[in-house]
Structure 1
Amino acid sequence: MSTKATPDATTAIVEAGVDLVQMELPDVNGALRGKFLAVEKVKPTSKSAVCTVVYQLTPDDGVWTSVHSSYDNGFPDVLGHPDMTTATKLPWRNNQAAVIYDVNRRDGEPFPLASRNVLRRVAGLFDETGLEPRFGVEFECFVLHADRELIAHGRYHDMAALGRMHNAYRLNQADEARELGVEFIRRMRSIGIGVEVFHTELGRGAVEFALSPETPLRAADNAVRAKTYFRELCAERGLVSTFMAKWHGDESGCGGHVHQSLWRGADNIFGEPSSGDISPQARHYLAGMLCTMSDCNVMFRPFVNSYRRLDHKAWSPENASWGYDNRSAALRVITYPSAEAVRVEHRVPGADANPYLSLAAMLAGGHYGIVNRLDLAPAALGNATERGAFERLPDSLCEATVAFRASSFCREYFGDEFVTHFAESRDVEWLHWCEWQKTNITRFELDRLFETA
C-alpha cells in the first residue's frame, strides 16, 4: 500500500495497522541508512535531525571529515522530512512501514550532498522540455549460503553458492533460486515495485532481476529499495547476496544496467516509426551521454573493485561506444519490436553504483546532447572495443576521480559542492586501497619472488 502526499498520508498507514516506520536515507554510496520512528512522528510536515556524518561514511562505516561535517564544526545536523509519496506498509514486517526521506539545510534549501537531491536537480531540467524520461534498472548479484564464521575470517570464497546452477536462464537445477525469485517478486509487487524479470545468470549462485520502467526519482527509489529488501529476504533464508562489481576472480561481474527512453505523453520519442530507426532527439541524447561518459565514469564505477569488472570480453564496455543491439558497446540501442519499445541500455554501471547518481549522470548527458544538438558518431559494428574511434573510459578509480573533479560539465549539472564532496569521498576510497596494499603482500608476489628474488 503506497500513500499519496496528502495530510491524510499518516492516517492511511495508521489505519493499515502500522505503529513503527523505517526512515530510509540514501547515502552517497547508494545504501539505505536511517532510523526507526513511532508512526506519530511521521507526517508530511515532520522534520527529523540527520547528522551530516551520514554523507561521510564509507561502505564499512569508516568516518572521514570535510567542510560539511568535522570536529571543527561539531558534525552538525541537517533536516530530513518524509516524502509521503514513498510511504508503504511492509507486509512481511509486523505492523511496520517505510518512508524515504529528503534532506534539506536548516534554511529549507536542498542539501547538496543528498543523492536524491542531485537526481531531482537534473531531472527538473526536463520539466521545461515537456519530455518525461523513463528508466528501468537491472541488477545482477551472487547469492550464497551465509556462513558468519567464514565471513569473519575473510573466507568469502569458501561459502557454498545458491543451488547447482552456473549458467544463465536455467529452469532446472535452480529450485532454490526459483523459490527465492518468486517470493521476491511477490514482496515487491505488494509495495508497488514491479519486477519484470528474475532469472539465473552466468556464475554459480548468480541471478538477475529487472525492475519496471518508472520516472527518474521513482526508478531510483525502487532500485535502492529492491536491492535492500532483496538482501533482507536472503538473510531471512540463511543466505547472503553480494552486489560487488567483481566478487570472485573466476566468476562474472555484476552489472547494474539501465534501460531508458524519453516520452511526450503516450509517445516514445526515441522511436521513429517511418524508418524503424531512432529519432533525431534520441541521437542527440546518445551523443550527449557518450561525450560526457568519461567525466561521469566515477558515478557509474565508484569503487576500486568496480574496475575489476572492466572487460569487454565479459560484456563490460571499455570505451564510450554505441551500437545496435550490441552488448559490447557502452550504449546498446534496441529498436524492436515496435517504436514504443525503442530504448537505450546503458551497460557501464555495475550493481555497486548509486542508482540516483547513475541516473543523474545519464540524464545530464542526455540533456546536454539535446540542448546542444550534438551529432552522433557512426555505430560500432562488431566488437565495440576493437572497432570505431571511441574514447577510452578511465580504467581506475583514481583516474576517474581526476576526470570528474576537473569536469566543468559535472559542476554545472550536479553543483560544485556535490562534485567536490563526491570526489573527496572517492579519494578516501583510493587512499584506503593504497594503504591496504602497503601492508599486504599478495600471493602473486610470494609465488614469483619468495625463492627466486
Structure 2
Amino acid sequence: MASFVNRFGLWSEDQQRQARELAQRLERGDIDTVRFAFPDQHGILRGKTLVAVEAKAALWDGVNLTSTLLAKDTSHKTVFPVFSAGGGFAMEGFQGGADFTVVADPATFQVLPWSPRTGWLLCDAYMASGAPCPFATRQILQRAVGQLDALGLDFIAGLEVEFHVFRIDDARLALADSGQPGRPPEVSLLSHGYQYLTELRYDRAEPLLELLRSNLVALGLPLRSLEIEFGPSQFELTFGPTAGVLPADTMVLLRSAIKQVCQRHGYHATFMCRPKIPNVMSSGWHLHQSLRRKGDGVNAFMPEAEGADLSAIGMGYLGGLKAHACGAAALASPTINGYRRYRPMSLAPDRALWARDNRGAMLRVLGGPGQSATRIENRVGEPTANPYLYLASQLFAGLDGMRKGIDPGPSADAPYESPAEPLPRSLGEALACLRADALLREQMGPAFIDYFCHIKEAEIARFNLEVTEWEHREYFDMF
C-alpha cells in the first residue's frame, strides 16, 4: 500500500528528494532519535520522539497523535467534549479522541546542538482523509502566503523578541507542587534591570547570552543581535528578515530552543509578557514586515516619490493592518496576561494608528525612497503569540487593504494623544472583536475562529473562578 504522503500527494518533488537524503542519513547511524514536532493552537511544539529506524518509515507514513491535543487550553485541560458526537468540534473525524496524522516537512530537519544525536522535524497536521487539519495553524499561514504568491509577491519578516531569563532556585518538583498547571519554579534575578543596553550589564550576562548565541546560530537561525533590555532579568534578540512561512518557523523553534537550553543549565526562560516580579517590565514581540516582488526581488513597499513614506501597495497594506487591528488583536496578544502590557506612555500601543519612526505607534513605518529596508513594524504583539496566527492575520489584513485601496490616514506624530480606535484592553474584548471581523473570520475559516475563541474563553472562565491576591487584599479586611 502507498504511504500516507504518496497516497495523498502531500510533498513536492523537492520534499521527496530531501526525505530520501534524510533517510540515507538516518541509515548511517549518527542520529539516535528524531523528534516529530507540530505547532499546536497555542504555537507550542508537541509531538513524539522516534528511534532512528522508526523515524525513517515515519517520514512517509506520518505520526499519529490523539486529536485531544487540539482540544486543550494553556493549562493542558481538554475544553471540548471529545466523546460527544463530532468530538465536540461539530465536524467529522474528531469523535472519541480519534487520531490525526502529522507529516514532517523534510526541509525543516535539524540536529539539535544541545542534544547532538537528536534530530528534529517540524510537521503539518492532516486528517485521516489526507485533508489538512482545519485547526492546523501552520497551514493557515501557508494559505495566506499562497494568496501573496498568486500576486507575484513574497512576505518578508524580521523578528524582535523580548523575554526574561532567571536563575532557578527551586524547581518546585515536590509531590505537592503537581497540578494542572503545577507550581512554577522559584527563581532569582540575573540582573537588576534599568541599565538598558549598558555594556557592563551585557558583560555580566555574557555566559548566558553566549550559550544562547552558540545554540541558535548552530540551528541556522538568522540571529542579528543580543541585547540587555530595560527590565530586571530581561533580554532581547533580533533576527534578520526571512521569507514566507520561515519567520513563523523561526519563532517557534527559537522559543523552544531557548527554554530547553536554559533549563539544561539551571535557568528558567519565559516568554510570558508580564511576569509577577517586582519592578517588572513587559515583554513585546515587534514584527517587521514588507513585501518583495518575485520578478526582480525589489521591496514592494519602497516608494518612488520623494517625501512618500510607502509605495501605493505599502500604503494599502498599512491601511489594512490599521482597519483590522482590533480584530487581529487576540491573535497578536492571545493571553490574559498580555493585556497588562498596555499602560500609558509605556512603548506599548493603545490605539490603532500609524506613524513614521515613532515607537509609541502601533504601526511604525521605517525607510523611504531608495531604502531597500523600507518596512512596517507592528508593535502590538506579545512573545507568547502563536506566530502562524499572528503572521497570517497580518497578511490577510494587509491583502484586504491592498485589494480595497484602504487609506491609512495621516501619520500620528503624538500617538498617545491622537484620536483613533482604541485597541482591546482585555482578552475577552479582543475575542469579541475577532468574532466581529468578517474578513478575518472568512479568511481564517469560521470554524477555526469559533474553535480558537472557545479555547480562549475557557481560559478566561478559569481565571474568573480564581480569587486574586488583589481582591483578597482589597476586600478581606475592609468588608
Match of 1:42 among 55, 59, 63: 55
Matched, 1:251 2:280: yes
- For each residue in 1:64-109, what CA deviation from the matched residue of structure 2 results, as whole angstroms up to 9, or x when unmatched? 1157645992111111111001011123214111000111111111
Which residue number in structure 2 is paired with residue 363 of structure 1? 395
- For each residue in 1:310-369, what CA deviation from the matched residue of structure 2 results, as whole angstroms up to 9, or x when unmatched? 124221111111101111111111116951011111100101111111101111111111
Match of 1:54 among 64, 69, 73: 69
After TM superposition, the score normalised by the length of structure 1 is 0.92
- For each residue in 1:236-259, what CA deviation from the matched residue of structure 2 results, as whole angstroms up to 9, or x when unmatched? 220101111111363111101111
CA contact (8 A) 1:334 1:342 kept: yes
Whole-angstrom distance in 1 between the partners of 2:441 and 2:410: 29
CA contact (8 A) 1:268 1:342 kept: yes
Which residue number in structure 1 is paired with residue 425 of structure 2? 395
Matched, 1:418 2:448: yes
- For each residue in 1:231-280, what CA deviation from the matched residue of structure 2 results, as whole angstroms up to 9, or x when unmatched? 11111220101111111363111101111111013211111244263111
CA contact (8 A) 1:312 1:328 kept: no
Letter in 2 for 1:98: W
SS of 1:266's equivalent?
coil
CA contact (8 A) 1:13 1:97 kept: no
CA contact (8 A) 2:345 2:416 kept: no
Q: 1:16 offset after TM fit, Å? A: 7.5
Whole-angstrom distance in 2 between the partners of 1:42 and 1:157: 34
Match of 2:417 among 386, 390, 394: 386
Which residue number in structure 1 is paired with residue 438 of structure 2? 408
Structure 1 range deviating more: 177-186 or 298-307: 177-186
Match of 2:103 among 68, 73, 81: 81
Matched, 1:109 2:139: no
Whole-angstrom distance in 2 between the partners of 1:213 and 1:395: 30
Gaps of 5+ in 1: none
Matched, 1:172 2:194: no
Letter in 2 for 1:76: A
Please show how residues 179-258 of structure 1 align to structure 2 within 5 Å.
179-248=207-276, 250-258=279-287
CA contact (8 A) 2:33 2:55 kept: no
Which residue number in structure 2 is paired with residue 98 of structure 1? 120
After TM superposition, the score normalised by the length of structure 2 is 0.87
- For each residue in 1:171-220, what CA deviation from the matched residue of structure 2 results, as whole angstroms up to 9, or x when unmatched? 11333522222222222222221111111101111000112211231111
Letter in 1 for 2:459: E
Letter in 1 for 2:241: P
1:410 and 1:151, CA in 2 relative to 1: closer, same or farther beyond 3 A?
Answer: farther
Letter in 1 for 2:330: V
CA RMSD of aligned residues (A): 2.4
Which residue number in structure 2 is paired with residue 318 of structure 1? 350
SS of 1:174's equivalent?
helix
Whole-angstrom distance in 2 between the partners of 1:357 and 1:333: 22
Whole-angstrom distance in 2 between the partners of 1:156 and 1:166: 25
SS of 2:237's equivalent?
strand
1:431 and 1:350, CA in 2 relative to 1: closer, same or farther beyond 3 A?
Answer: same
SS of 1:246's equivalent?
coil
SS of 1:45's equivalent?
helix
Letter in 1 for 2:283: C
1:16 and 1:284, CA in 2 relative to 1: closer, same or farther beyond 3 A?
Answer: farther
Q: 1:452 offset after TM fit, Å? A: 4.0
Whole-angstrom distance in 1 between the partners of 2:449 and 2:476: 44
Which residue number in structure 1 is paired with residue 6 of structure 2? none
State the identity as a percent. Answer: 27
Matched, 1:267 2:298: yes
Q: 1:445 offset after TM fit, Å? A: 4.5
Whole-angstrom distance in 1 between the partners of 2:111 and 2:417: 50
SS of 2:416's equivalent?
coil
Aligned length: 446
Please show how residues 435-446 of structure 1 align to structure 2 within 5 Å.
435-436=465-466, 440=467, 442-443=469-470, 445-446=472-473
Whole-angstrom distance in 2 between the partners of 1:340 and 1:4: 34
SS of 1:79's equivalent?
strand
Q: 1:295 offset after TM fit, Å? A: 1.0
Matched, 1:120 2:151: no
1:101 and 1:18, CA in 2 relative to 1: closer, same or farther beyond 3 A?
Answer: same
Q: 1:226 offset after TM fit, Å? A: 0.3
CA contact (8 A) 1:271 1:339 kept: yes
1:171 and 1:85, CA in 2 relative to 1: closer, same or farther beyond 3 A?
Answer: same
Letter in 1 for 2:229: E
Whole-angstrom distance in 1 between the partners of 2:352 and 2:167: 37
Which residue number in structure 1 is paired with residue 3 of structure 2? none
Whole-angstrom distance in 2 between the partners of 1:260 and 1:112: 26
Which residue number in structure 2 is paired with residue 291 of structure 1? 323
Gaps of 5+ in 2: 1-14
Whole-angstrom distance in 1 between the partners of 2:101 and 2:447: 18
